[in-house]
Amino acid sequence: MDPEHGHSGSLDNEKERVEDIQVSRVEPTPPYDAERHRRLRRKIDLHLMPICFWVYLVNYLDRSNIGNAKILNSETGDSFLQSLHMSPNGYAVTVTLFSIAYSIFDVPANIVLKRFFRPSLWFGSLFFSWGVLTLGFGFLKTYPSAVVIRFLIGALEAGFYPGIVYYITFWYRQEERSFRIAFFSAGTTLSGAFGGCLAYGVALINRRAGLKGWQWLFVIEGLITIFSTALLFFFLPDYPSTSKWLKPEERQFAIDRLDEQQSSFTRERASRHEILEALSPRMIAHYMAFFLDVVVFSSLVYFCPTIVNGLGYTSIHAQLMTVPAWSIGFVVSLIVAYSGDKFNARGYHAALTATLGGIGFLACVILPAHAYRARYGCLLLASCGAFPTLAPLAGWVTCNAPGQRTVGLCAALNSAGVGLASVVSVWIWRAQEAPRGFPTGNIVCAVCSFVSALLAIGLRLHYGRLNKKTAASGDLNARVWVY
């Protein structure tokens, strides 16, 4: 044995053994197991979606009931406006202040959810609080008290929709979110249908037990909200890592599959650069597309009964005639969201439905004010545009947020437009224009729909170009943008 080279040879042998051990410990990246993902998704869906759907339906019932109360039993002088001696402008101010509170508290609410509270505790507390206020709303006597209570309800509800959208990202991958957001968001369309039926029913018990129809409406909906709080406190799961109904290996898989896309929940603070990126022109285009569609959506939420009433129906029958619009919107919303996720084409789907809505409102501008049947058909077409566009746009924002730590911020900034858009919608449906078929409201909603469609197409093309550049560069670690 050569003493000069013996030590060197042993080092080489040791190095080779270490390298062999290291290579043996490297596990290959497992292939995408579609069946395993499907089984986990199904299990998560069964535990999350029914609760999210129901509580959001109740949430929108509480938010939109003032639109039903506005004209309920107006023929007998017992509507919400008549009882509180409120003018149409007073109604607009009341809804405006609700919307302003909603916009102000969106972002702070999601920060609180991210940093301090479990989802079940946070959502349950919000839900119970505005349920009590909704119940109390049924016993108001003055206009100033209505303004104050609606402002407080707006502040409490501000944390719910962006919070639920953010919560969905704790559990689902990017390609799974739009359909889930559409599913629970569809509660808004069914809440409109259910609210119309409920309003019709309470109109028939007007002045029973000393309460007018609109008071019964708020009392019943307030009690429904309060009793529904138990679902959130006791049955809403918080995070995959703490859910006992998942097996240990399922909990780990639920975390790992989100980590693959760097989209799992984190309490880490976003950097200054990430916050600025959340306000970049690209993200602002997302927020604007959503904002414009919400102008249309809020118009139907707050003024659908008024619009139908303007088509020649009595206040009671106008409540029932809103049901088909909401029901059609519900079905189309689910179809569009599912298709958008399946074909990875949220931008094109949102653009298509927004265009349909724009055509519906534009036709209402062109048709004579007395063409009631045709204008009602256009309202149904508009509902196929306004409602289904929201979910793909909301899900799209979370998929293309600057980073994992800014998903909640982007969801909140996007949702903050809901309040501001509601302010716009409140003032474009002018009572004095009812005999002329509300031309201002229809024109504004048509323009908002078409511009929202153009922004969605522009973003889709932009992400397509970015992904082509990534493919051409051959960088396997570069980000792939979601369409």
Per-residue pLDDT tens digits for 191-247: 766 777 787 888 888 888 888 988 998 999 999 999 999 999 999 999 999 999 999
Strand partners, 211: 208
User: pLDDT tens digits for 81-134?
Assistant: 888 888 888 888 888 888 899 888 988 998 899 888 999 999 999 999 999 999
Going by the DSSP 8-state scheme, the letter that residue 433 receives in this structure is: G
Give every CB contact of residue 206 below 8 A, 6+ residues apart in sequence.
73, 76, 78, 212, 213, 216
Q: How far is CA 254 from CA 43, 164, 259, 374, 437, in A?
A: 11, 18, 9, 50, 52
pLDDT (0 to 100) of residue 187: 67
Helix (H) or strand (E) holding 28: none
Residues 4-25: pLDDT tens digits? 444 444 434 444 443 443 333 3
pTM: 0.78
Domain boundaries, the chain: 35-258+272-473
Q: Which of 37-41, 276-280, 395-399, 454-458 has the lowest mean pLDDT?
A: 395-399
């999601």: which residue's tokens? 110
Indicate whether 439 pLDDT > 70. yes
CB 419 within 8 A of CB 290: no
Nearest CA among 196, 193, 183, 243 for reference residue 54: 183
Residue 25: CB atoms within 10 Å: 7
Q: Which is nearest to 322 in space by CA: 72, 116, 144?
A: 72
Q: Do residues 360 and 382 make contact, with C-beta atoms less than 8 angstroms apart?
A: yes
d(CA 358, CA 221): 32
317: tokens are: 């029958």
Question: What amino acid occupies position 58?
Answer: V
Residue 333 has pLDDT above 70, yes or no: yes
CA 330 from chain centre, in angstroms, equals: 13
* Residue type at 269 in one-letter notation: R
CATH topology for the 35-258+272-473 domain: Growth Hormone; Chain: A; (1.20.1250)
